[in-house]
């Protein structure tokens, strides 16, 4: 069984463009808020389908662009 891991990237970022893999989504998002700012892309590995559906159905503005990639398409705050 794979453990889920999360990482943010910001391809258009002027400074820091990515993070290390985190075991918790909240850790990756917190690091992204501090070091990446807005318009982040979240990469994931080993995340169960139910978790992906929960995130996609939240009101935080997430959009899955592939099986292992999600983009935060709004700047709404809040936790998952």
Pairing of strands 41-45, 5-9: antiparallel
Longest dimension (CA), the chain: 37
pLDDT at 47 over 60: yes
Domain spans, the chain: 1-6+19-46+62-80
pLDDT at 72 over 60: no
Q: How would residue 41 be classed by pLDDT, with cut points 50, 70 and 90?
A: confident
pTM, entire model: 0.70
């Amino acid at each position: 069984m794979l453990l889920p891991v999360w990482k943010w990237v910001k391809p258009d970022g002027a400074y820091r463009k990515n993070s290390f893999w985190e075991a918790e989504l909240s850790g990756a998002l917190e690091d992204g808020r501090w070091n990446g700012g807005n318009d982040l892309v979240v990469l994931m590995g080993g995340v169960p389908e139910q978790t992906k559906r929960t995130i996609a159905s939240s009101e935080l503005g997430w959009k899955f662009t592939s099986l292992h990639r999600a983009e935060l398409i709004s700047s709404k705050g809040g936790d998952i």
